[in-house]
Structure 1
Amino acid sequence: MTAPITIVPLVAPAALDGDDAAGFLASGELGHRVCDEMVGLPDLAPTAAQMLPAWHDATDTLHTGFLARRGDLIVGAVTIDYAQDAGARAAEFDLLVPEEYWGAGVETALLDRAEDEARTRGRDVLQIWSLHRPVEHDRMLVPKTGWGRVPAIGLTDLLEVQGYLLEQVERNSELDLTADPTPLRESLARAVERARADYRLVEWNLPTPPELRDGYADVLARLVTDAPSGDMEFDAEVWDAARVVRRDARLMGAGQMVSVAAVEHVPSGAIVAYNELLIGEDRSGVTHQFGTLVAREHRGHRLGTIVKCANLLRWRGLAPASTRVSTFNAEENRPMLDINEAIGFVPVSYAGAWQKKL
């Protein structure tokens, strides 16, 4: 007889070598396994070591989750993120069930449990992302934005049954960091000439220097409001220097390195554009682009090209053993995709952004 499925809380241990760390380590392994099965890119998922610092600090985001067990075997997990800003309504899910265990009720039990907790915490906007290979399927799904499309998979079938709507498609692109950097240098030179003296490049590695924290906080807060998001209802975020310090500590946890290229508007002194590159403790692994944004009122001056190209050129000296960088952009964000395509990024997978309102 097959053992019944039991759903238990996912607990963040004090340290990954502790006696209570097995479940948390398993959730990290599930993330890599599921990303590998879905799109052949296991490194899209963070490791347990990369996740743990954020789970220890609930000041800005509360992280919870559940494991699905069948006897002593862990057969799936769901993690849930709750922004802690005043008035926040959203709960963000990440459902991790390998193919081997899919279709036997594990995924439904985990999603139902996550939804129940979100309701208990007063959240009425539920969000989850699906990963897709760049292939054609007999049933292709088009988001409400009308931009992009993704093939139907088991997860999307489940989400549709559960009442979620596909709001947006994001493109996951990669750049070969071993390629000739000449196109980056040429694009940067042209963009700097276009921007002229009103803008200047500022670069640093985390932690953010004290004199830049306030300006950096201002532009980080605008990622939610200024980046294309379709009808996804992302909670507005309040940022200050202290929050930048906390974020720096979380991102640098477990030996991660982050490089920032930003643009300062010289007349006002405001930081109006930025790009972040991150790599884990293994400096030969995949580089991930985190945030990239140009403040809405400063678009049209090639600032996106400046921060992207400058940071990629800088990165070659910081992490020379890393061979590729991965980034996600909304399909309707043509200005940013145009920049990516011009400097050599190619699509490798897609993500669907799903939302359900209670």
Structure 2
Amino acid sequence: MRIRQIGPSDPLFDAWAQVFMTVGHEQWGKHTTAYPADELRAMWGKESETRHAFVAVEGEASCDDDAVGGAADIQDDGVDTAAGVVGAAELVLPRRDNTRLAFLHLDVLAPARRRGVGSALLSAAEEIMQDEGRTTVLVETQTPVGQPDAAGAFLAARGFAQAQTCVRNAQRLPVSDAVAAQMRAALAFDDEYVVETAVDDLPSQWLEERARLGAMMSTDTPLGDVAIEPETWDAARVHELFDTARAQGRRVVEAVAWHRPSGQMAAFTHVSVPAETPWIAYQDDTLVDAAHRGRRLGYRVKAAVSLLLAQVAPGVEVQRTWNDETNTHMLRINSELGYEREGTMIEWQKRLA
């Protein structure tokens, strides 16, 4: 067994991505949230972060024939041994903010589990984190309702603690006639707010306000015990968000609520639809400015997107969202919109120093 560090042009990159996809399909079938190789490849090279990828390759001698990989055995010679790839890890290091933090995604194919593969991948990633001065690492696990969190048990045994629990909800599209009628009635309500939508890009005059609300996602939403510092957002970061989606081949739909008297953007929701899985829409972020809460703006922007998806992405069968389990207000809105719980996402956290 050997741990290799690879990049997006490496012959092993597709096999690396396929590990995440295979494990995701085991749990969720066609509704896995794992990204295909082309989408992951398009996420490399962003100015706001650095990415590292590791594969565990079976059937190769390591520097120590009795060892199961590890940081000392990392290779980057690009030898095409895709058939032997049994584990994968991705490490994301923010550069614009949260520079003491690292995000890790790690999966091992079922036949190779309980053989030290996951531990070897984790060790290799942690060495990079320590070299980069990262002190905290976060890993997400997602499990369907009624299933055990086997990946979480692996992490707990290696020093990770649960930092946040989120509800994974899904809205089946198209919504019922009754729900659609309620959505249209809410959007027709005449008050100080107006809801507008945009597809695949934002008007330039929206960017400053959109960046202001984007920064609030790290300060004004429930985060449990996750050690997230306030994020820095500006027009360039909003542009990068949409540029990455275009490179991935995703359709993006945003709905925003404007407060007409002040000209402030009061709420937004951001939804994307992958080209390779066009039956899934991801509701990535939704936020209502605290100064404008209590006006049903979260419901309205979410309703606007659900109705618009039928026009711009008619193949979407399900819209998926995640919310902290303590965010009862947004969970209630989701229920009114027809969302149903399908699983749990746990954010696991480990302090390295």
Q: Give, as a single letter, the amino acid of the residue that structure 2 aligns with 1:285.
A: W
Distance 1:282 1:110, change over 3 A: closer
Alignment length (residue pairs): 329
Is 1:186 aligned to residue 182 of structure 2? Answer: yes
1:176 aligns with 2:172: yes
Counterpart pick for 2:281 among 287, 303, 306: 287
3-state DSSP of counterpart to 2:7: coil
1:297 aligns with 2:291: yes
- Alignment counterpart, residue 325 of structure 1, candidates 319, 322, 345: 319
Aligned partners of 2:209 and 2:264 also within 8 Å = yes
Greater shift, 65-74 or 184-193, is seen at: 184-193
**One-letter amino acid matched to 1:258:** V
User: In 2 relative to 1, CA 326–152 (structure 1 residues): closer, same or farther, beyond 3 Å?
Assistant: closer
Pair 1:353 & 2:347 matched: yes
1:20-74: CA deviation from partner (whole Å, max 9, x where unpaired)? 3x322122211111112234455311111112222122x1121112111113311
> For 1:112, which of 109, 118, 123 is the aligned residue?
123
Question: What's the counterpart of residue 139 of structure 1?
Answer: none
Paired position in structure 2 for 1:10: 6
If the length of structure 1 is used for normalisation, what is the TM-score?
A: 0.87
Per the alignment, residue 136 of structure 2 pairs with 125
Pick aligned residue for 2:203 from 209, 213, 223: 209
1:122-201 equivalent positions in 2, closer than 5 A: 122-135=133-146, 151-153=148-150, 155-190=151-186, 193=189, 196-201=190-195
Does structure 2 retain, via aligned residues, the 8 Å contact 1:37–1:98? no
For the Cα contact (< 8 Å) 1:35–1:131, is it kept in 2?
Answer: no
2:24 counterpart residue number: 35
1:338 and 2:332 are equivalent in the alignment: yes
Q: Displacement of 1:179 after TM fit?
A: 3.6
Structure 1 unaligned spans of 5+: 14-19, 137-150
* 1:222-237 equivalent positions in 2, closer than 5 A: 222-237=216-231
Alpha-carbon distance in 2 for matches of 1:227, 1:87: 17
Letter in 1 for 2:58: R
Alpha-carbon deviation of 1:192? 5.6
Q: Choose which of 107, 122, 136 in structure 2 pairs with 1:96.
A: 107
Offset at residue 355 of structure 1 (A): 0.5
CA–CA distance in structure 2, aligned partners of residues 245 and 152 of structure 1: 36
Q: Which amino acid aligns with 2:93?
A: Y
Give the Cα–Cα distance (whole angstroms) in 2 for the partners of residues 55 and 44 of structure 1: 18
Post-superposition offset of 1:125: 1.0
Q: Provide structure 2 residue ranges, at least 5 long, that are not aligned to the other structure.
A: 60-80
Give the CA deviation at 1:181. Answer: 4.0
Partner of 1:65: 53
Percent same amino acid among aligned pairs?
A: 27
Residue aligning to 1:147: none
Instruction: State the secondary structure of the residue aligned to 1:301.
Output: coil
State the distance in 1 between where 2:118 and 2:316 align.
35
Deviation digits for residues 160-194 of structure 1 (CA, Å, limit 9, x no counterpart): 1211111221111111103424313314524763x
* Shift of residue 254, structure 1, vs aligned partner: 3.0
Judge which range, 102-111 or 26-35, deviates more.
26-35
SS in structure 1 at match of 2:319: strand
CA deviation after TM superposition for structure 1 residue 256, in Å: 1.0
Change (3 A) 1:103 1:294: same
Q: 1:217 to 1:288 in 2, by over 3 A?
A: same
Distance 1:232 1:87 in 2: 12
After superposition, the C-alpha distances for 1:103-155 in whole angstroms (9 at most, x for unaligned) are: 1110010111111111111110110011212116xxxxxxxxxxxxxx342x2
Question: For 1:248-263, what aligned pairs fall within 5 Å after superposition?
Answer: 248-263=242-257
SS at match of 1:162: coil
The aligned counterpart of 1:53 is: 42
Distance 1:201 1:191, change over 3 A: closer
1:309-340 Cα deviation digits (max 9, x unpaired): 01100111111122111111111111111011
Distance 2:177 2:159 in 1: 46
